[in-house]
Amino acid sequence: MTTIERAEVLLTSPGRNFVTLRITTSDGVTGLGDATLNGRELAVASYLRDHVVPLLVGRDPARIEDLWQYLFRGAYWRRGPVTMTAIAAVDVALWDVKGKVAGLPVYQLLGGRSREQVLVYTHASGESVPEMLEDADRARELGYAAIRVQAAVPGIAGTYGVKKNGRYEPADHALPQEQPWSTEAYLAFAPDYLRAAREHLGAEVHLLHDVHHRLTPLEAARFGRSVEDVGLYWMEDPTPADSQDAFRLIRQHTTTPIAVGEVLTSIWDVKDLITEQLVDYVRCSVVHAGGITHLRRIYDLAALYNVRSGSHGASDLSPVTQAAATHLATAIPNFGIQEHMGYPDLTAEVFHGGARYDGGALHVDDVPGLGVEYDDAAAARFEYSPKYLPVARRLDGSVHDW
Ligand code: CS2
Ligand code: MG
């Protein structure tokens, strides 16, 4: 019987930190899984190295579902981003192995093509509205039909989502950077710049906006109503999703579509959002929601309630996740849109292949598995060092959701 012979936890930092799990079978077949949890990478690396890898060696790599159940139910302590990211890394690596053994791309194992390509959206931002609009024009020139727009709020240094020197990387400090936040200033400013973006880009471009957990349910309801004329594709994370109930209030007051889920890591965390149709898109990701096996379950539940996928795909989700997400998005019936920020140039020195961007969409080729290869020699050149996401503080000094 073929067994799992080795499982390596690989840390590297080609332009940004990534954690990758590589599983090698007794037949010499390898599979990759992304284990990157931005700002908490070492927690997942240890969970894998110290508590999962010793349980994997000697097991049958073909038994993906059984291993998922074993790692989820067998841990006793379940759910949460660290556990579900570790399980995801194993799951995705085993789907990669299964595809290579079968000689099929992973999307074929998931039911085959439902679409020719995977529509994506990218980020446009600016320290000022003109700068944001210029960035959006650059995105249009690159072929994007869907653009997330974010502008710095005057007087609020370091507003969420605004690029620095042409790149957006929030986890860029050795300790959490404290950023000021003013809901009043944001609410007084954002609707106007979203309207300016719609006027500048025209009606045919999908416009998205990430509120990033900053508003109370009532503030989010009012915000959603105030921008209904903009015709957003979605407003994302309008309020923290710790309580799914919070979205009932928002839903009662606005028809602006809602997308939630990038920080939610299991079907139980989004069950009510889906079954009560409190959201229009679920943003859970392959890397943080238990892998292809679990995310497929989330999107199958969503399909029953006319909720579509809108998976998280920021640059802190590695090219392994982007490939796996594109395979899944190629196959599922209720695909909506996939986030695509691209990566620092150095990242491609370590991760070869995977999903390919072209003309506003991601594509996967018909190579067995996920189609990503990991270059150890290159990875060794980029040493991991801890980096943290910012912490937000209101103007009175109290902590706010970042
Ligand atoms: C953001 C992310 O892409 C998004 O929608 O919410 O940039 C998020 O802030 C980071 O992935 C956190 O690591
Ligand atoms: Mg987001």
CATH number where 184 lies:
3.20.20.120
What's the domain count of the chain?
2
Which of 86, 105, 124 delimits the end of a domain? Answer: 105
Contact assessment for residue 125 and residue 151, using Cβ atoms and an 8 Å cutoff: yes
Asked, for residue 353, whether it belongs to a domain, the answer is yes
Q: Give, using CA atoms, the residue closest to atom 13 of ligand 1.
A: 38
What average pLDDT does this structure show over 184-196? 98
Asked, for residue 76, whether it belongs to a domain, the answer is yes
* C-alpha atoms less than 13 angstroms from C-alpha of 188 in its C-beta half-sphere: 8
81 and 141 both lie in a single domain: no
Paired tokens of 258: 């809602």
Q: What is the pTM for the complete model shown? A: 0.98
**165: pLDDT confidence band, cut at 50, 70 and 90?**
confident
Distance in Å, CA 231 to ligand 1 centroid: 22
Amino acid identity, position 338: Q
Asked, for residue 228, whether it belongs to a domain, the answer is yes
Residue 123 main-chain phi, psi, to 5 deg: -100, 140
Residues contacting ligand 1 via CB (< 6 Å) = 38, 170, 210, 212, 236, 262, 312, 314, 316, 339, 389
195 and 268 both lie in a single domain: yes
Asked, for residue 340, whether it belongs to a domain, the answer is yes
Distance in Å, CA 210 to ligand 2 centroid: 6
**98: pLDDT confidence band, cut at 50, 70 and 90?**
very high
Contact assessment for residue 94 and residue 23, using Cβ atoms and an 8 Å cutoff: yes
Asked, for residue 173, whether it belongs to a domain, the answer is yes
**159: pLDDT confidence band, cut at 50, 70 and 90?**
confident
pLDDT tens for each residue of 328-340: 999 999 999 999 9
Ligand nearest to the CA of 260: 2
Distance of alpha carbon 219 from alpha carbon 225, whole angstroms: 10
Contact assessment for residue 364 and residue 105, using Cβ atoms and an 8 Å cutoff: yes
Q: Give, using CA atoms, the residue closest to atom 11 of ligand 1.
A: 314
* Class of residue 380 by CB neighbours under 10 A (exposed 0-12, middle 13-18, buried 19+): exposed
Q: Give, using CA atoms, the residue closest to atom 7 of ligand 1.
A: 314
Distance in Å, CA 389 to ligand 1 centroid: 10
18 and 93 both lie in a single domain: yes
Distance in Å, CA 262 to ligand 2 centroid: 6
What average pLDDT does this structure show over 359-377? 97
67 and 190 both lie in a single domain: no
142 and 95 both lie in a single domain: no
Residue range(s) defining the domain that contains residue 348: 109-367
As annotated, the active-site residues are 160, 212
Mutate to test the pocket of ligand 1, among 262, 286, 317 (most ligand atoms within 8 A of CB): 262
290 and 358 both lie in a single domain: yes
